[in-house]
Amino acid sequence: MLGCCFVAIGIVEILSRLFFLAFQADPMAILAIARSLEIASVLFIAFRETGGLACIGIIPARVIQGVGRGMIWSAGFAGIVAIGFLLIYAAGGNPLHLFHVRLPESGFRLMLYFIVGGGLGPVAEEMFFRGLLYSYFRSWGLAAALGISTAFFVMAHPQGSGIPLPQLIGGLVFGISFEIEKNLMVPITIHILGNHALFCLELIA
């Protein structure tokens, strides 16, 4: 199943890039379509291969519970981040420099950015990095699953020079929450709320 999903996602990524090069369409609109197709592909393949979605951590009866648990995790994580911010400020630093996000200037593209980067992107990424990769490598042990899925997650978000701290911390938190809760809706919710929080901080800054 992992191989089929990997191929399907790879095809979507290649086609989306070719489409952009051929027609010079809005990259955010293309990304929205690509992420939607990737989500649909993973759901279709998982259901076709196993007859359900539990193999990637999605259990219909526990979706709402997972969202609620994800909100609790997010609140706790936000509290830890707030303490970290205060400590950095007290040391004379600016913690906002650690979480820089380039947001579009226009209203429509900004709204689309929030939809894709704050909604479709987190869902697609959690399905792949936690639902597929983490679940596949879990048989190798907790450390292997957490390390490999987080490493791939970080590599998928190149940030230039320096340590990709948000991606590194995020990957670990998403993986740990998935391990504890056994519900993919938990890291999906944390990821969505976390991305929106980063975007809002950038707007404020």
Give tens-digit pLDDT for 36-89. 999 999 999 999 999 999 999 999 999 999 999 999 999 998 898 888 878 877
Provide the residue ranges of all domains of the chain, joining segments of one domain with +.
Answer: 60-204
Cα–Cα dist 96/59, whole Å: 37
Residue 105: pLDDT band with limits 50, 70, 90: confident
Q: Is the pLDDT of residue 143 over 60?
A: yes
More confident residue, 90 or 7: 7
**What residue type is 149 in one-letter code?**
S
* pLDDT number for residue 166: 78
* pLDDT number for residue 198: 85
* pLDDT number for residue 205: 64
Structure token pair of residue 81: 């981040």
Cα–Cα dist 9/111, whole Å: 25
* pLDDT number for residue 43: 96
CB 193 within 8 A of CB 74: yes
Q: What is the mean pLDDT of the chain?
A: 89
Helix (H, G, I), strand (E, B) or coil at 106: coil
Residue 95: pLDDT band with limits 50, 70, 90: low
Phi/psi of residue 59, each to 5°? -120, 110
CB 138 within 8 A of CB 145: yes
Cα–Cα dist 146/44, whole Å: 25
Helix (H, G, I), strand (E, B) or coil at 77: helix
Q: Is the pLDDT of residue 98 over 70?
A: no
Average the pLDDT over 169-180 and give the result: 95
Give tens-digit pLDDT for 23-40. 887 888 899 999 999 999
